[in-house]
Structure 1
Amino acid sequence: MNLENGQINGRQLIFLIMGYILGSSVILPPGTEAGNSSWLAIFCGAGEGLIIAFIFTVLARRFPNQTAVQFNSIVYGPYLGSIVSVAFLWYIFNLGSIVTRNFTDFIGTVFMPETPTLIVGIAMIFAAAFAVYQGVEVIALSSVILVPLTVVFFLISYMLQINTFDLQNLLPFLDVPMEKFLGAAHGAATFPFAEIVVFLMIFPYLNPSKLSPMVEIAGISFSALVLSLSAVRTIAVLGNTAAIFTYPSFEALKLLNLPFFNARMEIIVGINFMTMGFLKITILYYGTVLGIAQLFGLRRYQILIIPVGILMLIFSMLNFNNIVENMEYARITYPIYALLFQAWFPLITLGIAMIRRQGGAKE
Structure 2
Amino acid sequence: MIEKGRISAMQAAILLYPTIMATAVLLVPSITGKIARQDMWLSPIWGSVFGIIAVILAAKLNNRFPKQTIIQYSSELVGKVTGKLIGFLYLFFLIHSLGIILREYGEFIKGFFLLQTPIAVIIGSMVLVSALAVRGGIEVMARSAQVFVPIVFVLFILIVILLMPEMDPGNLFPILENGPMRSLEGAIVPASWFQQFFLLSFMLPFMNDREKGAKWGMVSVIAVMFTLVISNLVAMFLFGNITSHFTYPVMEAARYISLAEFIQHMESVVMAIWVGGTFVKISVFYYVFVISLSHWLHLSDYRPTVLPSGVILTVLGIWVVDNLPHLNEFLSTVYPFYGTLFYGIIPVILLVVAMMRRS
TM-score over 0.5 for the pair: yes
- 3-state secondary structure, aligned to 1:26: helix
What's the RMSD between the two structures over aligned residues? 1.6
Name the CA shift for 1:176/1:342 in 2 (closer, same or farther; >3 Å): farther
Q: 2:303 maps to which residue?
A: 302
Provide the residue aligned with 1:19 in structure 2.
18
Shift of 1:49: 2.3
Between stretches 13-22 and 208-217, larger displacement belongs to: 208-217
1:3 aligns with 2:2: yes
Work out the number of aligned pairs and report it.
Answer: 356
Match runs of 1:1-363 below 5 Å: 2-29=1-28, 31-32=32-33, 33-175=35-177, 179-190=181-192, 192-259=193-260, 261-262=262-263, 264-357=265-358
1:209 positional shift: 2.9
Q: 1:23 to 1:176 in 2, by over 3 A?
A: farther
Per the normalisation by structure 2, the TM-score is 0.95
One-letter amino acid of the counterpart of residue 170, structure 1? L
Q: Distance in 2 between matches of 1:5 and 1:25?
A: 32
Rounded to whole Å, the distance in 2 between the matches of 1:156 and 1:280 is: 22
> Does 237-246 or 325-334 show the bigger shift?
237-246
Deviations 1:182-206 (A, max 9, x none): 222122111x111122232221101
- TM-aligned CA distance change 1:176 to 1:121, over 3 Å: farther
Distance 1:275 1:117 in 2: 18
Change in Cα spacing, 1:267 to 1:176, as seen in structure 2 (3 Å) is farther
CA contact (8 A) 1:61 1:211 kept: no
Q: Indicate conservation of the 8 Å contact 1:37/1:174, yes or no.
A: yes
State the alpha-carbon separation in 1 of the partners of residues 51 and 269 from structure 2: 31
Structure 2 gap ranges (5+): none
In 2, the alpha carbon distance for the partners of 1:236 and 1:47 equals 25
Cα separation, 2, equivalents of 1:62 and 1:96: 28
1:250-277 deviations in Å (ceiling 9; x for gaps): 1112211122635532112211211111
CA displacement, residues 107-142 of structure 1 (integer Å, 9 cap, x when unaligned): 000111111111100111111111001010111111
Query: Relative to structure 1, is the Cα distance of residues 175 and 332 closer, same or farther in structure 2, using a 3 angstrom cutoff?
Result: farther
Structure 1 gap segments, 5+ residues each: none
Identity %: 27
Deviations 1:297-317 (A, max 9, x none): 112211111121111121111
Once residues 177 and 102 of structure 2 are traced to their aligned partners in structure 1, the CA distance between those partners, rounded to angstroms, is 34
Query: Contact 1:64–1:210 (CA<8 Å) still a contact in 2?
Result: no
Distance 1:210 1:86 in 2: 29
Q: Residues 204 and 213 of structure 2 are in contact (CA less than 8 Å); yes or no, is this contact kept in structure 1?
A: no
Shift of residue 211, structure 1, vs aligned partner: 4.5
Distance of 1:318 and 1:169 partners within structure 2 = 40
**Preserved contact between residue 60 and residue 211 of structure 1 (Cα < 8 Å):** no
Q: Conserved in 2, the CA contact under 8 Å of 1:34 and 1:41?
A: yes
| Cα distance between partner residues in 1 of 2:264 and 2:160 | 17
CA contact under 8 A between 2:251 and 2:267: conserved in structure 1? yes
